[in-house]
Amino acid sequence: MGKINDSLLSGTSGRTGRIVVANVFGNEISKIRPRKRTKKPSLKQYMVQQRMKKCADFMASYRSFACNHYGKRVGMSSCYNLAMTNLLENFVINHANQSFNINYSAISFARGNLLGIIGVTFSLTSPDSIEINWQNNAGAITERENDWLQVLIGIEDQQNTIFLENVATRNNETYTAFIPPMASGNTVHLWFSFRSEDNKDVSNTFYAGSLIT
């Protein structure tokens, strides 16, 4: 991929043959369009493709949120790119047995400077519900009491996640999350973040741990 400093196309995007020109966030770039693959991918290539698919499935529930709340754009890397990179780094390919080792504790769906969550506890109160508790650490900053809790639920060995948006405020200190029947008997992972009432700021993701439903 190349960056065009003095475009002959005057900001026009499109392609000529295999050369593709596009304007990405004010930057004109050019790249060669890949040829259509005609042969079967190698095992290594197949595993890389599968990792990308699994990461896309994992992020599907919170993609829109991450596009707005996963840090700040860095050059040509969007918030989505940064969130996807986080997943790709933590879906580690095990070529020996053609599987993936997932580092759940390092996965995140939000990145920001808002006051984080503390004092988290959770327990299974029924086969389909998890009670989550935390400490109201707003202190004298009353504005922080109205920050909204965001919850990400991941079920091991299942591709899709469950994202629960704006479910309780910081001063509520408790929330009961209902989980689908497909989670029964499986390990469930939990991540949390707060978002400000005006939807502008978020806290870093907090991985709370897992339990067996």
Q: At what angle do helices 79-90 and 43-59 cross, to 10 degrees?
A: 120
Structure confidence by residue, pLDDT tens digits, 60-101: 999 999 999 999 887 778 999 999 999 999 999 999 999 999
Q: Is the same domain home to 137 and 200?
A: yes
Residue 206 lies in a domain: yes
Q: Is the same domain home to 134 and 99?
A: no
Nearby residues of 68 by Cβ (< 8 Å), 6 or more positions away = 79
Nearby residues of 176 by Cβ (< 8 Å), 6 or more positions away = 125, 129, 130, 131, 132
Q: Is the same domain home to 132 and 169?
A: yes
Residue 101 lies in a domain: yes
Host H or E run for residue 40? none
More confident call, 14 vs 151: 151
Residue 38 lies in a domain: no
Residue 37 lies in a domain: no
Give the span between the Cα atoms of 1 and 20, in whole angstroms.
9
Q: Tell me the residue range of the domain where 201 lies.
A: 107-212
| Contact (CB, 8 A) for 207 and 191 | yes
Handedness of CA 35, 41, 46, 50 (dihedral sign): positive
Nearby residues of 172 by Cβ (< 8 Å), 6 or more positions away = 149
Residue 57 three-state SS: helix
Q: Is the same domain home to 148 and 77?
A: no
Give the span between the Cα atoms of 31 and 47, in whole angstroms.
25
Categorize the per-residue pLDDT at 13 as very low, low, confident or very high, splitting at 50, 70 and 90: low
Structure confidence by residue, pLDDT tens digits, 139-167: 999 999 999 999 999 999 888 999 999 99
Q: Is the same domain home to 70 and 132?
A: no
Q: Is the same domain home to 65 and 101?
A: yes
The pTM assigned to this predicted structure is 0.83
Residue 207 lies in a domain: yes
Q: Is the pLDDT confidence value at 6 over 70?
A: no
Nearest to 196 by CA among 169, 175, 173, 171: 169
Q: What is the CA radius of gyration of the chain?
A: 21
Q: Is the pLDDT confidence value at 59 over 70?
A: yes
Exposed/middle/buried for residue 170 (C-beta within 10 Å: 0-12, 13-18, 19+): buried
Q: Is the same domain home to 98 and 147?
A: no
More confident call, 132 vs 17: 132
Of 57, 80, 105, which residue sits at a domain end? 105
Structure confidence by residue, pLDDT tens digits, 112-129: 999 999 999 999 999 899
Number of domains in the chain: 3
Q: Is the pLDDT confidence value at 1 over 80?
A: no
Q: What is the mean pLDDT of the chain?
A: 89
Q: Is the same domain home to 98 and 144?
A: no
Q: Is the same domain home to 112 and 203?
A: yes
